[in-house]
Amino acid sequence: MHMEKEELYTTAYMARLKLSETESEDLEKAVSRMLKYFEKMMEVDVANSEPTTHALLKDNRLRKDEIAAGKQTSDKILKNAPELEDRFIVTPNVL
Amino acid sequence: MPEWDKILSNPEVFKKWKEAAVSIDKNIKCFLEFDPEKGINLSNREAAAEGAETKPEDKTLSGIPFAVKDNIAVESFKLTCGSKILSNFVSPYTATAVTKLQKNGAVVVGKTNLDEFGMGSSTENSAFTQTHNPWDLKRVPGGSSGGSAAAVAAGLVPFALGSDTGGSIRQPASFCGVYGLKPTYGSVSRFGLVAYASSLEVIGVIAKTVSMLKNVFKVMHGEDPYDHSSLPAEEKTFNGKITKIGFPKELKSIELYPSVRKTLDSTIKNYKQMGYDISEISLPTLEYVVSAYYVIATAEASANLARFDGIRYGERDFSAENPEELMLSSRNRGFGKEVKLRILLGTYVLRSGFQEQYYLRAQKIRTAIRKDLQRAFGTVDAVLLPVYPRPAFKPGGKEMDPFSQKLADIFTSTANLAGIPAVSFPAAVEEGLPVGMQLLAPAFAEKLLFSMCGDYEKVFPSPSPAENYLNRSI
């Protein structure tokens, strides 16, 4: 299966990737090659199979939402923000 | 130099070791950050907080230095994931697996190079540097945990942590002549591991000896309230000697590099001589493993990597005039080519209209692969496979381009899809390069793998490269 340029750009936008012209040429080839390879999966009869999402997974588990000792990390997290005003992260204008 | 647990405590020995490690790493470039002093402070703090909870005789890793792949969080060390988008990110906390080791007394000495976000087989996809194989500097160390495998192979540390999504611990371990364990899915907490493909990946160990591999796993496994998918230790017990190994007949028709084929044959012969019962089994789904793996891994990656938006942390394009432009441009500047390819593929296979054809079908094939292995484990205790169809290759894409590297994940990604443990062990040195083999066992049967590759270690211990090796007897 070949992915047309337009499809590639649509998919890239969905993934919030802005591709340059040369980049998109390379990626068009690489993505198409993989999609072609994925066609191999069509040979398998999966009619009576259930999908596996996780190989081993127990039921839903919950824990209390509380700060554990030694895990007060909010200041350290904020230090990684590209731009701060007090304890707020700055973004360009939304409107 | 003395034993590993004495290196950090004696200032003179420490200085000598550090200088030697820095000097060897100039050739190999396995570390992105090397700061043992910082690691010693962190471990002292954890040990003090731990108090007397761990009995001194259980502190099997006390004073032992180790390296951590740079997609696993260690507080106050950078956490770059080999990506430009996180080049300045400093981790605010430590991964549970690392904390457990620190509480036991082990010391993080640095963070190791990797393919960006764990996506690759050669460590060429790192945004920062190319790590070289200590056996031959002109060759890759494998990937994506290439820095960790090279650090252990060069004798800089006795063990290192890696992550394994489709073979990222076992393949570099094989290329570098050391042991690599991909534990049972969920047996080691993923809290603090930067997510790539959540249903497949697990933190594991690369080590120079089987006993070190075993000790490290023993300390770091177990359920963690911070990882929803972690599972309680469910150690299987075995009665009598476990000696039945099966190898898939499908291997006959799969192309292998001559030295790998030769090592497969000699491994079977060696195990037979040790009294093992080797038989042929069948894994008919083997040929569909790679396609199912890449559909699932890229789909999960496209969702997991959506968090890198340039807003809350990471590389940001300050010239952007609105949030959307900021996101588009920051992601485009921050991600490398292979990461973009996988995000695009993953986004595509999850698009409405294509899901059934790709993602759902891949998940159904995943069920078939699990059943194939379950059937095999009905007659044998473990399955023997090569790790990779060829030994360490040269970088640049001529010997192995990105597409052929993906196809070569056939033997490793099987265990990730099934969630079962697998170990890569050095089985021979051919044409000057180590060649690893792989054993797969049922879920939670790590003990069986340690026993089997421990037997092999008695005949063939991990070989050391002639150069680029920190020889502790110097």
pLDDT computed for residue B55 by the predictor: 78
Facing B347 at nearest CB: one of A14, A41, A57: A14
Higher pLDDT, A55 or A53: A53
Helices marked H in B190-284 — which ranges? 210-220, 258-273
pLDDT of B91 reads 96
Nearest Cα of chain B lies from the Cα of A29 at a distance, in angstroms, of 10
- What pLDDT shows up at residue B474? 43
Could you tell me if residue B236 is inside a domain? Answer: yes
Does the pLDDT at position A95 exceed 90? no
Average pLDDT over residues B68-74: 98
Q: Give the range of the structural domain holding residue B123, as residue numbers without chain letter.
A: 4-240+385-459
Per-residue pLDDT for B193 more than 90?
A: yes
B234 occurs within a structural domain: yes
Asked which of A27-31, B40-44, B54-58, B455-459 is least confident by mean pLDDT, the reply is B54-58
Cross-chain residue pair A18–B93, CB shorter than 8 Å: no
Contact yes or no for B386/B425 (Cβ under 8 A): no
| Between B369 and A94, the higher pLDDT residue | B369
**Rounded Cα distance, B123 and B28, in Å:** 12
What is the distance between the terminal CA atoms of chain B, rounded to a whole angstrom?
6
Q: Rounded CA gap, B153 and B180, in Å?
A: 11
Q: Is the pLDDT of residue B147 over 70?
A: yes
CATH at B198: 3.90.1300.10
Query: B370: distance to nearest CA of chain A, Å?
Result: 8
Q: How far apart are CA B344 and CA A10, in angstroms?
A: 10
Tell me if A19 sits within 8 A of A27, measured CB to CB: yes
Segment A39-48 shows an average pLDDT of 90
Q: What is the total count of domains within chain B?
A: 1
A-B C-beta contacts closer than 8 Å: 180
Residues of B with catalytic roles: 69, 144, 168
User: Smallest CA–CA separation between B276 and chain A, in Å?
Assistant: 29
Distance CA B441, CA B424 (A): 12
Q: Of chain B residues 352-371, which have a CB less than 8 A from chain A?
A: 358, 360-368, 370
* Percent over 90 (pLDDT), chain B: 91
* Residue showing tokens 């031959």: B136
In a domain, B139, yes or no: yes
Q: Does any CB of chain B come closer than 8 Å to the CB of residue A16?
A: yes
In a domain, B31, yes or no: yes
The answer on pLDDT for B160 being more than 60 is yes
Q: Is the pLDDT at A61 greater than 90, yes or no?
A: no
C-alpha span between B230 and B224 (Å, rounded): 6
Q: Does A55 touch chain B (CB under 8 A)?
A: yes
Q: Which residue has the higher pLDDT, B192 or B237?
A: B192
Q: Which of B90, B290, B331 is opposite residue A80, by nearest beta carbon?
A: B90
- For residue B52, what pLDDT band results from cuts at 50, 70 and 90? low
Angle (CA) A82 A87 A92, round 5° = 45
Q: Which amino acid is at B244?
A: K
Rounded to whole angstroms, the Cα distance separating A50 from B329 reads: 40
* Rounded distance between C-alpha atoms, residue B41 and residue B107, angstroms: 9
Q: Which one is predicted more confidently, A9 or A94?
A: A9
Q: What 8-state DSSP symbol labels residue B84?
A: G
Residue B455 has pLDDT above 60, yes or no: yes
The mean pLDDT of chain B is 95
Strands (E), B171-313: 179-182, 202-207, 244-248, 277-281
Tell me which of A12-21, B42-51, B438-447 is least confident.
B42-51
Tell me: pLDDT of A64 over 90. Answer: no
Contacts of A20 in chain B (CB under 8 A): 332
Q: How far is CA A1 from CA A9, A23, A39, B407, in A?
A: 16, 20, 8, 18
What is the predicted ipTM?
0.94
Q: Which residues pair with B280 in a beta bridge?
A: B247
pLDDT in tens, B419-444: 999 999 999 999 999 999 999 999 99
- Three-point CA angle B59, B60, B64, nearest 5°: 100
DSSP state of B57: G
Q: Is B78 on the interface with A (CB under 8 A)?
A: no
| Amino acid identity, position B64 | I
Confidence of residue A69 (pLDDT cuts 50, 70, 90): low
Q: Does a structural domain hold residue B220?
A: yes
What letter represents residue B87's amino acid? Answer: S
Q: How many helices (H) and strands (E) does chain B have?
A: 14, 11
Q: Output the pLDDT for position A15.
A: 97
The residue of chain B nearest to residue A67, with distances taken between CA atoms, is B226
Q: What is the mean pLDDT of residues A34-59?
A: 87
- For position B2, what pLDDT does the model report? 65
Q: Which residues of A touch B185 (CB under 8 A)?
A: 54-56
